[in-house]
Amino acid sequence: AQTVTQSQPEMSVQEAETVTLSCTYDTSESDYYLFWYKQPPSRQMILVIRQEAYKQQNATENRFSVNFQKAAKSFSLKISDSQLGDAAMYFCAYRGLGNNNDMRFGAGTRLTVKP
């Protein structure tokens, strides 16, 4: 089964600075999707960014970008110009395109933004 690992339980960043959250995954599939979700204190799960494995170009969404290294099975999230509203739990997720089309999540990284 696919596994997703987030090795940083907690991270902190100064407001306006840049922070990178790490994620690695294990899979034998060649085609799949990767996601980063944000969960603020409201508990709502919010999609931040998605990456198709067949695309070599790293996805970007405004201040959020990813560093996707397919051979290394690594999918990190970079948040630039951090804002107080970025404080949340961040989850990395993997979705395969084979027969088992489930979606697996990492344990999460709690991001604190210091003013």
Residue type, 16: A
- Count helices and strands in the chain by DSSP H and E runs: 0, 12
Half-sphere exposure of 68 (CA within 13 A, CB side): 23
User: Is 78 or 95 the residue whose CB approaches other proteins more closely?
Assistant: 95
User: Is 3 or 14 the residue whose CB approaches other proteins more closely?
Assistant: 3
Choosing from 14, 17, 45, 83, the residue that interacts with other proteins (CB under 8 A) is 45
User: Is 6 or 82 the residue whose CB approaches other proteins more closely?
Assistant: 6
Q: Would you count residue 30 as binding other proteins (CB under 8 A)?
A: no
Assess contact for 23 and 5: CB atoms under 8 A. yes
Which residues in 63-92 contact other proteins (CB under 8 A)? 91
Which structure tokens are listed for 62? 């405004």
**Other beta carbons within 10 Å of 16:** 11
User: Is 64 or 105 the residue whose CB approaches other proteins more closely?
Assistant: 105
Q: Where along the sequence are the contacts to other proteins (CB under 8 A)?
A: 1, 6, 9, 33, 35, 43-45, 47, 50, 91, 93, 95, 97, 100-108
